[in-house]
Amino acid sequence: MTITRIETSQRMSRIVKHNGVAYLCGQTSDASTVAKQTRDILVKVEDLLRKAGSDKTRILKCEIWLADMADFAEMNAVWDAWVPEGHAPARACGESKLARSILKVEMIVTAACD
């Protein structure tokens, strides 16, 4: 069983594929608002999914970390508009101190792929 690593550095791979599943590294954005960060992240997710041979209709699971759960509704407004009807993945959302103070949202996606 082959493991394929895409856009790999010493620290991490942006995508790891194994057994028809693509695991994306956490995606963040430096934009000024939760809504803008969420939109930027989802653009990055779509690009990585394409590189993995997948798309947003094949997302199996998304873990979302917010720096402040008070931003839950703002993030969800963008998320809900982005997820295709009938293709909502399993999802978890929690509050966490993120790697840098400017970060408000981080998403970790797992998707079926070719």
Q: Which of 46, 50, 47, 39 is nearest to 76 (CA)?
A: 39
pTM: 0.96
Architecture of the domain delimited by 3-112 = 2-Layer Sandwich (3.30)
Phi/psi class of residue 99: alpha, beta or left (left: φ > 0; alpha: ψ in -120 to 50)?
A: alpha
Domain boundaries, given as residue ranges, for the chain:
3-112
Per residue in 28-78, pLDDT tens?
999 999 999 999 999 999 999 999 999 999 999 999 999 999 999 999 999
By the 8 A CB rule, do 110 and 20 touch? no
**Coil/strand/helix, residue 39:** helix
Q: How far apart are CA 35 and CA 31, in angstroms?
A: 9
Q: How far is CA 113 from the centre of its chain?
A: 15
Confidence of residue 1 (pLDDT cuts 50, 70, 90): confident
